[in-house]
Structure 1
Amino acid sequence: MALNFHQLHIFHTVAEKGSFSAAAAAMHMTQPAVTMQVQALEEHFGTKLLNRSTKKIELTESGRMLIPFARRSIELMQETDTEMARFTHKLEGRLRFGASNTIGEYVLPPLLVPFGRQHPDIAISLKVMNTTQILDEIARHTLNFGLVEAPVVHPDIISESVMQDELRLIVPAGHALAGRTSITLKEASAHPFVLREEGSGTRQVMEEEWKAKGMDPRSLQTVMELGSTGAVKSAVEAGLGITMLSPSSVKHELALGLLHAVPVADASFKRQFYSIRLKSTLLPIAAVAFLNFLRERQISESSEEGEE
């Protein structure tokens, strides 16, 4: 019997999940069907690939040798699908994914328009939610993937960087810092701050850089903590304090002169946005094309216009 990709994919999933039942659930197959395909693969190579003598499936020496080839075959199949779809321009289907607040509400909307022009036959279904909710829906196979503000460490999840962003100090019009070409962290810390809630990706990036420069973020005069970027923007615009936000989230306010972005000379608040997906699931061609589309664009390019 000839070797086929489907068997390699099933074998790779069983090895990752550690059981036939878990692999069957992940691939929407019956457990006997998964077992049969692995057995067929073992018959093809004439050797046992999995040790079933323990409660948890373990790879044999032959299985360990095969794993990297199975992984490469999966990656090659994804690349092949993407390149052929790009060549034939026949990408279609429904793309279901989730995104965290900043990405879903501010970063993606201006990017969805040009993507839609390139691929008019792809219907996009986007849910804006927190990372925990995104992970839950990915696990239940109701979302193809997610876009989040920090990498996810989970045995069943692959996190890959897709875009870069950089927080800037945001101040209201008429503020003492509004006309400055740059300031230092020490100067900034002398002013009242309005911040996102603890645990948010934006807050985490800000605090990590503060600590890296030997300063305690808890010493900041935090007058308000709010649960959304929109609320933070409104509070800063009203003059309640200054903040750290992505320029992409205040693009219109910057253009209208309601807010100003001030560069911080002695610190860099760069961060990555990540795609997250199940290791055991192949992304549909439309999803691969969309993620490649995002990687080809820099968020800063769409934000620089309002920073001057």
Structure 2
Amino acid sequence: MALNFHQLHIFYTVAERGSFSAAAQALHMTQPAVTMQIQSLEDYFGSKLLVRSTKRVELTEAGQTLYPYAKRSIELMRDAEKAMSRLNFMLEGRLQLGASLTIGEYVLPRLLGPFASQYPHISIALKVMNTTQIIDEIVGHQLNFGLVEAPIHHPDLSFDPVMEDELKLIVPAEHPLAGRERVTLHEVVSYPFVLREKGSGTRQVMESELMHRGFEPDRIESVMELGSTGAVKSAVEAGIGITIISPSSVKHEQALGLLKVVNIEDAEFKRQFYSVHLKSALLPVPAVTFLTFLREYGQRL
């Protein structure tokens, strides 16, 4: 068995993050899969590399020896990708992609500036549309790839996790919960809600977590259902109700003191954003580089 770069990457991530679960989350893998790859690497070297202490994973003497080499190999791989990407940018630097509403309107705009600074030779043509339209244009070869809030079954398409998002409780500035840092789910569901329409990715994530926590979604008093996040924000700002949406979409209103983001201590409304492209087509280098940038930079937001 040859030394596996993928296993070195996993080992390095576990060492950096301090736990198998944190590494699994960062790598978009399951914890058992991370454990299995570490065990395979230990079998290859014939040495224990990591030990679990009471608080975090620690490196053994063998792990400490391997760590700088793993780090150097990852840095070298990234440098190689950047060098080859820059070479190709000069030849083909236009990237066409589609993004669903929340991603295109609220998440990507904060990332496009840093990306343009790092890769000035790429021009991006972004279309903001719903998931069905994105898929139609990818299948029709009008877009290289898209970014969507949930995967769907399609025989010709590949969906891969790119970024994680967590929905939060959003309330008007004068709401009784606005001054609280944390509230319970039981408190939250006693107030009237403004919701996205049924079938939206945001609505699905919210309802799935409610059911997971033993709350039937029908118990929520829905005073209004709206077809866009912008409309939901306006209704909440007007005091019509509260909502659960991505905090990325309310940064402007939060800065102006119009809306407040409140943590729900006994629920987590997490979701993945996915890239989608044709299985039969190789993504161009600018697209691969952009997705790599999203995975790395998006973790810092």
What TM-score, normalized by structure 1, do the two folds share?
Answer: 0.69
Partner of 1:5: none
CA offsets, 1:145-168, max 9 Å, x none? 010001222221110000011000
Could you tell me which amino acid in structure 2 is paired with residue 192 of structure 1?
P
Q: Can you list the C-alpha shifts for 1:99-148, whole angstroms capped at 9, x where unaligned?
A: 00000000000100111111112111111111111000000100000100
Q: Deviations over 1:274-296 (max 9, x none)?
A: 00000000001000000000000
Question: In the alignment, which residue of structure 1 is the partner of 2:205?
Answer: 205
Name which one, 1 or 2, has greater alpha-carbon Rg. Answer: 1
Alignment RMSD, CA only?
1.8
SS at match of 2:191: coil
The 8 Å contact of residues 85 and 286 in structure 2, kept in 1 or not, is answered as no
Take 1:88 and 1:279, find their aligned partners in 2: how far apart are those partners? 25
Q: State the match for 1:194 in structure 2.
A: 194
* Amino acid paired to 2:218: R
| Cα deviation digits, residues 221-274 of structure 1 (max 9, x gap) | 000000000000000000000000111100111111110011001100111000
The CA deviation string for residues 68-105 of structure 1, in whole angstroms up to 9 with x for no partner, is xxxxxxxxxxx999454246584542101100000000
**Aligned partner of 1:128: which letter?**
V
Q: Within the alignment, does 1:85 sit opposite 2:89 as a pair?
A: no
Contact 1:81 1:285 in 2 (8 A): no
1:273 aligns to what?
273
8 Å CA contact retained: 1:82, 1:288: no
Conserved? CA contact 1:161–1:273, under 8 Å: yes
Q: Once the two structures are aligned, what percentage of the paired residues are identical?
A: 63
Rounded Cα–Cα distance in structure 2 between residues aligned with 1:86 and 1:125: 18
The yes-or-no answer on 1:215 pairing with 2:210 is: no
Aligned residue in 1 for 2:168: 168
Q: How does 1:36-51 map to 2 (within 5 A)?
A: none
TM-score, length basis structure 2: 0.71
Structure 2 match to 1:183: 183
Q: Secondary structure at the match of 1:179?
A: coil
The one-letter code matched in structure 2 to 1:199 is: G
Contact 1:158 1:277 in 2 (8 A): yes
For 1:107-126, list aligned pairs within 5 A: 107-126=107-126
Number of residue-to-residue matches in the alignment: 223
Give the letter for the 1:152 counterpart: I
Q: Work out the CA distance in 1 between the residues paired with 2:172 and 2:216.
A: 24
Q: Which runs of 5+ in 2 are unaligned?
A: 1-77
- Distance in 2 between the 1:156 and 1:84 partners? 31
